Structure 1
Amino acid sequence: MSNLKERVLVFSDAIIAIILTIMVLEIPIKYASSGDIVWQTLLSAVGIYFISFCFVANLWFQTAYAFNRIEQVKNKSLVVYLLLLFFLSLVPAATRILIEDTTQQTVLIYGILTLIVTVLMRRLVTALTKQSITEINLQKRRVDELNRQDMLSFIARLIILVIGLFQVHVALVIYLALPILAFLQNMIDREEDRFVDTLDQTEQADYFADRNQIWGSSMKRYSKLLRDSLKDPNEKDGQQWEDIMKEWLGKVDQEIAMRQKAMKTASTHEQEHLQQEINRLQMQKSRLQERENHLEQRPFNRNHPKFQPSSKKTLSKK
């Protein structure tokens, strides 16, 4: 870890810890004329604090994971991160006014601030992810995917702002759900990265090109990866990946069979192209069978040389 990177992370961790501390100190404890605590006000304040806590904690998680994938912090990324921390430091003030008076105006202020923070955070993560990937095709594929996600996130936040103008409490519920869902998505991404990092660059490209077909559906992939991410690391071994390897091999066999069938009616030129595709798929199948055999023979160990990618880590996810 470079000295600059280490100091940046320590500095940001300190700021985020202070932000969370200030927010909890802003929770009011009001008493009725009888001397009893007004529980409705207290619970409402705690709920709003919880929304902000999840938002800040999720931001810390995503940026920390993205920084962990790189060795050097570029000047541009540093400037964006410092700007991000500036706007993030305003969250306690926005949380306080939201607690004191939950109205359309205060929800709008909170929504605009979190929109700015979210845009800066996602742009930073995209830049760090691009920096962590050295292979051009994989880099472009991943950055394009993140750009699409960023645009969808931006549009969704704008829609929530509009909802907040008419339905304040509905907007608060959505603001609570977003960081929780994002945190679960990060857990899924990290678990998938454990598997992706064992593949070489060609296999990584193949995996992401056929990911939905391999898993069957996005929901199936999300549910399995989420369950695996909640397991004790000491309990994890190659067994958790045997099913996906079998599905992948089955998909490759189907592709080979389809091309062999197409060759029967194809022209000479098309046959040459199809044969090249079959040869490529056969090589891919051989590599996958070799990895599947090793998964069956020993516990999963990402540090084992057999499971290391052919070059330095080339892929990262949001």
Structure 2
Amino acid sequence: MKERVVVFGDAIIAIILTIIVLELPIQTAANGAVDMVSLFRAVGIYFISFCFVANLWFQTGYAFNKIEQVKNKDLVIYLLLLFFLSLVPSATRLLIEDTTKQTLLIYGVLTLIVTLVMRRLIVALTEQSFKGEKQRKRRVNELNKQDLLSIIFRIVVLVFGLFYVRPALIIYLILPILAFLQNIIDREEDSLIASLDDEQQADYFQDRNQVWGNSMRRYSKLLRDSMKTNGEQDPDRWKQVMVDWEEHINKEINERKEQLSSLNGNDRHRAENEIARLEKQKQRMERQKAMTERRINEAKELSDQVLSQSKKRK
């Protein structure tokens, strides 16, 4: 059933993109020359809608891949999403023919509704994909925060567009591109999290910003890694991340040990508990490192055996 739902959605999205491009107007002057300014503006607006629809296809497809069955509630939400999405070509045509406050408002409201329904669908599918209660709750809370910020920002852009049409149009151009990059980063981070056990995942989410240094460094690193070919097949892929994480833990332990002499009462007790937590986290990191090194050695041994057998056959 899931495969039929996904294929049906893919067909609808392909038709929507085709309709959008077919409605691109090509205006000509009295002498038959093509109005290049009008054409480039139309292509730019088409590009906005294309990125928006393509980003929706990418995000929903990735979310559907995580589950085995589609619940009735999720199917209803997905069909509702496709209904609103099917109105995008008409809104795009209106925006191309006459880019005014009214047409921009129609396009903005429609994309806001589509984004809201899509994000609710992704949250529901993500919630279904996690088996552990803590992991599910943590991930859903994180998605809800992202969605709240996204919806609030789109509402602000909607109001902004009532006063400044062309700047708002540029923002609508940038939004789907940023959302697409964010989805790639989330997918890459999911790959890292999948390589950790349950306890390490809890540690990672608790110390994520400290592990990476800051959010921008995390985004840039994950985005670069996503561009590498065969990255998921590399057992040594996250080695540097683990090294940085271990250095952070050692630094935290040393700092808290230095502070112990100047602390008393409850503050000292809390510091001792934090040191104990970090020590356990360090032990888990060492076990993870040993497992990673063992997998690397096994992969190298297997590669050497295949190469040796290949040479013998020759």
TM-score range, shorter chain: 0.7 to 0.9
Match of 1:184 in 2: 181
Q: 2:308 aligns to what?
A: none
Q: Which residue of 1 aligns with 2:132?
A: 135
Select the structure that is richer in helix: 2
For residues 59-78 of structure 1, the aligned pairs below 5 Å read: 59-78=56-75
Show the 5 A alignment for 1:154-303.
154-233=151-230, 237-261=234-258, 264=261, 277-296=274-293, 299=296
Percent identity between the two aligned chains? 60
In terms of mean alpha carbon deviation, does 257-266 or 52-61 score higher? 257-266
Shift of 1:254: 2.8
Could you report, residue by residue, the CA deviation over 1:111-150 in whole angstroms, capped at 9, with x for unpaired residues?
0000000000111111111111222222222211111111
TM-score normalized with structure 1 length: 0.86
Task: Provide the C-alpha distance between the structure 2 equivalents of 1:39 and 1:227, rounded to a whole number of angstroms.
Answer: 37
Number of residue pairs aligned between Structure 1 and Structure 2 = 299
Deviation at 1:222, TM superposition (A): 0.7
Are the aligned partners of 2:246 and 2:285 in contact in 1 as well (CA < 8 Å)?
yes
- Quickly say closer, same or farther: Cα 1:235–1:196, change in 2 above 3 A: closer
Task: Map Cα deviations across residues 268-303 of structure 1 (whole Å, 9 max, x no partner).
Answer: 88877765554443332222123234545655999x
**Which of structures 1 and 2 has the bigger CA Rg?**
2
Aligned-partner residue type, residue 177 of structure 1: I
Distance 1:36 1:269 in 2: 81
CA RMSD of aligned residues (A): 2.4
Aligned to 2:77: 80
Q: Distance in 2 between matches of 1:235 and 1:88?
A: 33
Q: Is the 8 A contact 1:19 1:89 kept in 2?
A: yes
**1 or 2 for the larger relative contact order (CA 8 Å, sep ≥6)?**
1
Cα distance in 1 between the residues matched to 2:71 and 2:240: 40
Which residue of structure 1 lines up, in the alignment, with residue 304 of structure 2? none
> Does 2:40 correspond to 1:6?
no
Whether 2:22 is the aligned partner of 1:25: answer yes
Work out the CA distance in 2 between the residues paired with 1:47 and 1:138: 41
Contact in 1 for aligned 2:253/2:275 (Cα 8 Å): yes
Identify if the C-alpha distance between structure 1 residues 83 and 301 changes in structure 2 by more than 3 Å, giving closer, same or farther.
Answer: farther
Name the SS for the 2:59 alignment partner.
Answer: helix
